[in-house]
Amino acid sequence: MGVLNVTGDSFSDGGRFERPDDALRQALRMADEGASIIDIGGESTRPGARPADLALELNRVVPVIAALRRESAVFISVDTSKPEVMRAAVDAGADIINDVRALQGPGALAAAALTGAGVCLMHMKGEPRTMQDSPSYDDVVGEVSTFLRGRIAAAQQAGIPAPRIAIDPGFGFGKTASHNLELLRELPRLQDLARPILAGLSRKSMLAKLTGRAVGDRMAGSVALAAIAVINGARIVRAHDVAATLDAVRVAAAVIQGEEFDGT
């Protein structure tokens, strides 16, 4: 899953894609590099961010989704929590709703169910504006797992069938570096939930702690985390640097497949 940030927030893209032409070009480039899904987001969920205005978010994401749908058969996901954006995005050609609030907002479950799209349900502790103000857990993996189990059940009750649901522990969303490392180490425990696991680790601030590097210089660390995530059960990897990440995913997949791997 290639990340396309169409907010004015350049935090982790090392360049923003505010102009629809630039955003489309970047999306096509990531698809060309081998991304199966392009994740298009118009609301910044970085730590400290405030909720985006609805009209602004619609104006940012819908034209890019429509343009990408015209140009490519790649799967498109929309990174949003707003029912109106979910509906407009799927009308414009999006296939998947990626909601960092796991469809907990007013009207989100019903809107997502009505679209018939796939959904990614992510764990977040708190809200983006304050989530990194000393997050704490008794048992981070247990809490994330219990939360995701509940959201899978809620989604199914709302009419979203299990095969349309993916889950995500939400690395960096109300978690310290050590919480993130524990979640990554214990990721196999989320396989009990029997849904594909999405892992988003690309360029995240745990890499500042682990490598000391600035956001634009975290590709090697991100690629290492992607490989570890796949080894530990992730089946969708959200990444800014698609070509390099796909190499890591292929290497990790070959290790998992072991003797079944035929060299192709």
Burial environment of residue 2 by CB neighbours within 10 A (0 to 12, 13 to 18, 19 or more): buried
Residue 32 Cβ vs ligand 7PM, minimum distance, rounded to whole Å? 21
Beta strands in the chain (DSSP E): 2-5, 37-41, 75-79, 96-99, 118-122, 165-168, 197-200, 234-238
What are 264's two structure tokens? 């192709």
What are 261's two structure tokens? 């791997």
> Is residue 204 flagged as an active site residue?
yes
Packing angle, helices 219-231 and 242-257, rounded to 10: 30
Residue 236 Cβ vs ligand 7PM, minimum distance, rounded to whole Å? 9
Residue 264 Cβ vs ligand 7PM, minimum distance, rounded to whole Å? 30
By CB under 6 A, name the binding residues for ligand 7PM: 3, 5, 12, 45-47, 79, 98, 100, 120, 122, 168, 170-172, 198, 200, 202-204, 238
| Residue number, 8 or 259, with CB nearest to ligand 7PM | 8
| Residue number, 248 or 257, with CB nearest to ligand 7PM | 248
Whether the CB-CB separation of 230 and 222 falls below 8 Å is answered with no
What are 220's two structure tokens? 């090697």
Residue 99 Cβ vs ligand 7PM, minimum distance, rounded to whole Å? 8
How many other C-beta atoms lie within 10 A of the C-beta of residue 190?
24
- Residue among 42, 50, 4, 56 at smallest CA distance from 25: 4
| Residue number, 62 or 197, with CB nearest to ligand 7PM | 197
Residue 111 Cβ vs ligand 7PM, minimum distance, rounded to whole Å? 18
* Gap between the Cα atoms of 240 and 232, Å rounded: 20
* Alpha carbon 64 to chain centroid, angstroms: 18
Residue 102 Cβ vs ligand 7PM, minimum distance, rounded to whole Å? 9
**In Å, how far are 100, 232, 249 from 258, measured between CA atoms?**
34, 15, 14
Sorted by sequence, the CB contacts under 8 Å of residue 264 that are 6+ apart come out as none
| Residue number, 134 or 254, with CB nearest to ligand 7PM | 134
| Residue number, 41 or 83, with CB nearest to ligand 7PM | 41
> Is residue 238 flagged as an active site residue?
yes
CB-nearest residue to ligand 7PM: 200
| Residue number, 27 or 254, with CB nearest to ligand 7PM | 27
Catalytic residue (one of 175, 203, 204, 218): 204
Q: Would you name the residues annotated as active-site residues?
A: 204, 238
